[in-house]
Every structure is written in structure tokens, then in C-alpha cells.
Amino acid sequence: MSNIKKLLGKRIQELRKSKNFTQEKLAEMIGIGTPNISYFETGKFSPSIETMEKLAGALGVEIYELYMYKPQKPAEEIREELVKVINSDEKILRLLYKFYLTIK
């Protein structure tokens, strides 16, 4: 079994769980059978391009983000890391603030 299929499946599962969707809910949202979600998540099958578009839409990400395999840190860990950096580096504080203003 392809490592890429396993990584893609793990990413789909990670995103699905982050949205608190069951496999059944996600399958219903994109119009496929529930077993297909399981097959994707285990790496048994790869989704078609059309299904990838639907998965990305349902999960609220761009298609390329389905291939971002490196899991993000938990929010609390990110918060702690940012607080440390902000407290120790005024340039980063100002840069983050500018970024914040652009996305606010």
C-alpha cells in the first residue's frame, strides 16, 4: 500500500475529526457511501479528483491542504510558543500585530 495514500487518509481523518464529523456525516455531505470514507482514511483507496474537490469543500480547506501531512500542534502548545516569542522579541511582536491587522 502506498505511503502517500496512507498519509492522505490520515490527513482526511484528522481534518474530519477536527470538524467533529463522523464518517457517515462526511460521506453524506459529499454524496458517497460511508465505506468509501473508511477506505480513504485507511489508505485502501484514493479519492478521485472530483471527490477530492468535494472533500476539501466539506472540510473547509483548499485541495492542496489535504496533502499537508505534517500535523499541526495543539492550539494550547501553539499559544504557549507564541507567547514566549512575543515576550522575548519586539520585532516579532510588531510583525504578528501587523499580520493580525491584515486578517482581522
- CATH classification code of 3-67: 1.10.260.40
Instruction: State the pTM of this model.
Output: 0.67
- What is residue 97's predicted lDDT score, i.e. its pLDDT? 92
pLDDT of residue 63: 94
Cβ neighbours of residue 5 under 8 Å, at least 6 residues apart?
Answer: 43, 44, 45, 46
- Sequence ranges of the domains in the chain: 3-67, 73-104
Determine contact, residues 34/23, Cβ cutoff 8 Å. Answer: yes
Q: Which residues are CB-contacts of 15 (< 8 A; sequence separation ≥ 6)?
A: 59, 61, 65, 66
Per-residue pLDDT 10s for the chain (104 aa) are 568 899 999 999 999 999 999 999 999 999 999 999 999 999 999 999 999 999 999 999 999 999 988 766 778 888 999 999 999 999 999 999 998 898 87
